[in-house]
Structure 1
Amino acid sequence: MHNLPPLSPAPLAPWACHPSATRGRRYPEAPTPTRNDHQRDRDRIVHSSAFRRLVYKTQVFVNHEGDLFRTRLTHSLEVAQMGRSIARPLGLNEDLVEAICLAHDLGHTPFGHAGQDALNDCMRDWGGFEHNLQSLRVVDRLEERYPDFDGLNLTFETREGILKHCSQTNAQLLEQQEPGGVGRRFLLKQQPSLEAQLANLADAIAYNAHDVDDGVRSGLITLEQLQDIPLFARHYRQVLRDHPALAAPDAQRRLLYESIRRMLSAQVYDVIATTQAGIAAAGVASVQDVRECGQRLVSFSAEMHYGSQALKTFLLHQLYRHPQVMQTMTAAQQVVRELFAYYLEHPQAMKPRFAQRAQQAAAAGDATARARAVADFVAGMTDRYAAGEHQRLTGQRLLA
């Protein structure tokens, strides 16, 4: 027995997901005296193996390219901070937002989107690969921490937020496995909770900002180029007006940081104001109203959306498709493809639990399950583990 005071829930808006009204876990568990269900979700995510592996998974730059560039782990932390900052003034469930933000990239492959694209191509005959769906697989099945169930046994609300995108085919498969579960909203064309919507937008805000920072730090994009991007340039000019001394060559880092900080603040305030207005206009008064609303309510204003998209387009062409980045990502894709092919042919070379799954599937004549075991193993690798295993198995050193 615990002799602890009961939890004092934070005041939440009527349209927020209240932890006392959770749709629960797939495997029922007794409540704890000091944490609500969504706090427990967050803590389970932070203590998971998949979360720790994010520290060696690419955001834009592969780990060996520099110690200060963002990784999937630091990105997830920044998304969580951004999400909580917006959730509180909107009266949303901060703990749920944080849990979703921290878990949203757990299923990402090594080498970022390049690795995902390569693995999706490898899996094209066996259902494909998509990192949002893989993140759900991680928390539902692949983590092995508890004696009574696979996965982390997270609440419905956190799992719903992790699954940002889902094809109709995959939604139907999820519905067959879990009737009325996280796949149903895609079949009914409903919206997710406001907390899930917020986590999705916080992701975009965070990566636009930190990829500007990392891009300039890397030397692949310049402050001069960013003058053509209105969302950034507006704050950059204001910083120089307020702090002329930052124009000095040795103050460029401070100039960049302050410009990004103001750009982030402007986006946060815009989301808060636009979402408050959208909630009022839609007349939502409950979580179910949010789900049945015909549009996303957590959003930018039209002007801010345009500015954010212009920055995203700039980063796509000037950073993500920069020849230096593309050269590294081409090599990374070769690593992923060749690892997949090798393990598919030699499943015994994988870690025992994946090898066992693949061999059992092969014995049963289930080629899809065999390939999925290989995809699960490769997707869980860090950048440096994948590069090292590839070199060990092939004798090639494709990544420094």
Structure 2
Amino acid sequence: MSAKMNWDHLLNKKRQRKTQSKTMPYRNEFDKDYDRIIYSSSLRRLQDKAQVFPLQENDFTRTRLTHSMEVASLGRSMAWNIGSWLLEEKRFKNFWEVKELASLVEVSCLVHDLGNPPFGHYGEDIIRNWFNNWFNSHDFKKVENKYVEKGFCPLGNQQKNDFIYFEGNAQAIRILSKLQFLNDQYGANFTYGTLATLMKYPWASDHPQVINKKKFGYFYAEKELFEKLHKEVGIGDRRHPATHILEAADDIAYLTADIEDGVKKGIVKWEKEYQDIAAYLQLNYPDKYDYLEKYRKQVIQYKVPNNDLVNVQNFKVIAQGIMIEAVVEVFKDNYNEIMEGTFRGSLLDASTAKELAKKLERISIKYCYNDEEVLALELVGDRVISDLLHLFVDAVVNIEEDPKTKLKKEKLFHLISKNFRHIQSLDNSGLPNIEFENVSLYNRLLLVTDFISGMTDSYAVNLHQKLLGVKLP
């Protein structure tokens, strides 16, 4: 049996670089993490990254930013509930630990999608497929042999898998610990507690779990950081208990919000789909059903415009409440297994609201994820990201010495963010002493994925058009 995780370690406030600011109970270290990222360019870029519907021109449909804000709200609410229970059960020593848990979950939820590439989760698939094909190509073998001849080691299994199974979750860890550059090589310098919570899959890309789940938590480049988290937070290859709350908040948010967006866009036939859900609610949650029916009649009586949208918004509130209550109960009932790291699956799937969640997921798949507009724009994203990867990988891996701006590959290199290029020049002491000609093949590929995964949907499309001559700069 695994040793139980300990909240004294789980609410870990240490950082890679010690902070000089004082900690007050009303503004804990996790609140400071929130303040560090809320003003960042990495978070702002989420406002132009797709949740479900890419490249929207209206101001209603959710983006990754609005989705993340909603997840943070739901996660904070559940954490307060669970934290209060932990205090009652004397698992927490005082009220301030309850607040710390709420703050930890809130900031982790806010940044959980920070590493997602353009065009949502499909963007991850595009990157994975491109690298899987490239690593099996003759071009890669020639490139790798060239680096071996220069004295570099061939790419290891974990290094290759970092790209073959490219994971936005691992990229978020990388952004927070390195790429959101402020003063030094530690990026936003988040607490170990927040980084551990954000790591939904706490194992490397060559771990046996990856074969089944196709998911991992950190890149080879952040191996040393993971070892610190392992030691300081005590998670090992187990999920931080707060990660379960984050995942549940994410699930509850998208299951309800994607349908609302679909109704607003006119593609979800809500009245038709509601009849099936209404029968389920009437049988299992009669008081919730009566509440919804009351307001559905009121919408007709008051001749409220966009009645489908109003009805689905009222339903969203009820559905979220049902799922939140169910998730919190599962956390409490399975607390020992969660603290031992032996709890399997998600809180929502283990809850009494599982059937409701499946019904909502079915609606989203039927109308939203298979919508012609979504599929067409995802195909655009496939072409855009694949072409950009081809151009930038080919350029970056073939630069021999300090790049000027004369050759095509050098011009492409200089289009990459200066911050990302600067990160690759830092030595172990944080000084920019590494010339680009001495940057390994693995780190050059990371430079490309850092750049492309950080793009917004619109920026990726515009850059693609410019580089292909479709659009002038």
TM, length-normalised to structure 1: 0.82
- Alpha-carbon distance in 2 for matches of 1:305, 1:181: 36
Does the C-alpha gap of structure 1 residues 90 and 339 become closer, same or farther in structure 2, counting only changes over 3 Å?
Answer: same
Question: Do the aligned residues in 2 keep the contact of 1:24 with 1:156 (CA within 8 Å)?
Answer: yes
Q: Does 2:437 match 1:363?
A: yes
Tell me which of 324, 335, 343 is aligned to 1:295. Answer: 343
- Alpha-carbon distance in 1 for matches of 2:266, 2:298: 22
Residue 261 of structure 1: CA displacement? Answer: 0.9
- Alpha-carbon distance in 2 for matches of 1:385, 1:111: 11
Q: Which residue of 1 aligns with 2:292?
A: 239
Q: For residue 323 of structure 1, what is the amino acid of its counterpart?
A: E
Question: Do the aligned residues in 2 keep the contact of 1:161 with 1:196 (CA within 8 Å)?
Answer: yes
Q: For residue 321 of structure 1, what is the amino acid of its counterpart?
A: N
Residue 303 of structure 1: CA displacement? Answer: 3.0
Per-residue displacement from partner, 1:224-272 (whole Å, max 9, x unpaired)? 3423653896367751245413246733322121111111111112222
User: Which stretch of the first structure deviates more once superposed, 137-146 or 161-170?
Assistant: 161-170
Question: Do the aligned residues in 2 keep the contact of 1:139 with 1:152 (CA within 8 Å)?
Answer: yes
Does the C-alpha gap of structure 1 residues 201 and 71 become closer, same or farther in structure 2, counting only changes over 3 Å?
Answer: same
Does the C-alpha gap of structure 1 residues 365 and 56 become closer, same or farther in structure 2, counting only changes over 3 Å?
Answer: closer
Q: For residue 157 of structure 1, what is the amino acid of its counterpart?
A: G
Does the C-alpha gap of structure 1 residues 358 and 239 become closer, same or farther in structure 2, counting only changes over 3 Å?
Answer: same
- Alpha-carbon distance in 2 for matches of 1:187, 1:243: 47
Q: Which residue of 1 aligns with 2:76?
A: 84
Report matched runs for 1:177-256 at 5 Å: 177-178=224-225, 180-182=227-229, 188-193=236-241, 195-227=242-274, 230=277, 234=281, 238-247=291-300, 250=305, 251-256=307-312
| Paired residue secondary structure (1:246) | helix
Q: Does 2:371 match 1:322?
A: yes
Does the C-alpha gap of structure 1 residues 66 and 229 become closer, same or farther in structure 2, counting only changes over 3 Å?
Answer: farther
Q: Does 2:341 match 1:349?
A: no
Question: Do the aligned residues in 1 keep the contact of 2:176 with 2:190 (CA within 8 Å)?
Answer: yes
Residue 315 of structure 1: CA displacement? Answer: 1.4
Residue 274 of structure 1: CA displacement? Answer: 2.7
Tell me which of 8, 15, 37 is aligned to 1:25. Answer: 15
Residue 277 of structure 1: CA displacement? Answer: 2.7
- Alpha-carbon distance in 2 for matches of 1:326, 1:379: 20
Residue 135 of structure 1: CA displacement? Answer: 0.4
Q: Which residue of 1 aligns with 2:182?
A: 145
Does the C-alpha gap of structure 1 residues 297 and 119 become closer, same or farther in structure 2, counting only changes over 3 Å?
Answer: closer
| Paired residue secondary structure (2:107) | helix
The alignment-based identity, stated in percent, is: 26
Question: Do the aligned residues in 2 keep the contact of 1:358 with 1:374 (CA within 8 Å)?
Answer: no
Residue 192 of structure 1: CA displacement? Answer: 1.2
Q: For residue 170 of structure 2, what is the amino acid of its counterpart?
A: L
CA RMSD across the alignment: 3.2
Tell me which of 55, 60, 69 is aligned to 1:68. Answer: 60
Per-residue displacement from partner, 1:102-146 (whole Å, max 9, x unpaired)? 111111111111222112223333431210000001001101112
Question: Do the aligned residues in 1 keep the contact of 2:13 with 2:29 (CA within 8 Å)?
Answer: no
TM, length-normalised to structure 2: 0.71
Question: Do the aligned residues in 1 keep the contact of 2:5 with 2:339 (CA within 8 Å)?
Answer: no
Tell me which of 102, 127, 135 is aligned to 1:119. Answer: 127
- Alpha-carbon distance in 2 for matches of 1:25, 1:229: 50
Unaligned runs of 5+ in 1: 1-13, 285-289
| Paired residue secondary structure (2:352) | helix
Query: Rg larger in 1 or in 2?
Result: 2
Q: Which residue of 2 aligns with 1:10?
A: none
- Alpha-carbon distance in 2 for matches of 1:365, 1:26: 24
Q: Does 2:446 match 1:376?
A: no
- Alpha-carbon distance in 2 for matches of 1:72, 1:215: 16
- Alpha-carbon distance in 1 for matches of 2:279, 2:228: 41
| Paired residue secondary structure (2:181) | coil
- Alpha-carbon distance in 2 for matches of 1:331, 1:86: 38
Tell me which of 458, 463, 466 is aligned to 1:389. Answer: 463
Q: For residue 126 of structure 2, what is the amino acid of its counterpart?
A: A
Count the aligned residue pairs.
Answer: 374
User: Which stretch of the first structure deviates more once superposed, 342-351 or 213-222?
Assistant: 342-351
Question: Do the aligned residues in 1 keep the contact of 2:262 with 2:367 (CA within 8 Å)?
Answer: no
- Alpha-carbon distance in 2 for matches of 1:297, 1:275: 12
Q: Which residue of 1 aligns with 2:102?
A: 94
Tell me which of 256, 259, 270 is aligned to 2:315. Answer: 259
Question: Do the aligned residues in 1 keep the contact of 2:68 with 2:112 (CA within 8 Å)?
Answer: yes
| Paired residue secondary structure (1:63) | coil
Q: Which residue of 2 aligns with 1:158?
A: 194
Does the C-alpha gap of structure 1 residues 85 and 357 become closer, same or farther in structure 2, counting only changes over 3 Å?
Answer: closer
Q: Does 2:86 match 1:108?
A: no
Residue 27 of structure 1: CA displacement? Answer: 1.5
Question: Do the aligned residues in 2 keep the contact of 1:175 with 1:181 (CA within 8 Å)?
Answer: no
- Alpha-carbon distance in 2 for matches of 1:20, 1:334: 42
Report matched runs for 1:300-311 at 5 Å: 300=348, 301-311=350-360
Per-residue displacement from partner, 1:188-246 (whole Å, max 9, x unpaired)? 542312x2211111011001111010011112211034236538963677512454132
- Alpha-carbon distance in 2 for matches of 1:199, 1:109: 20
Q: For residue 442 of structure 2, what is the amino acid of its counterpart?
A: T
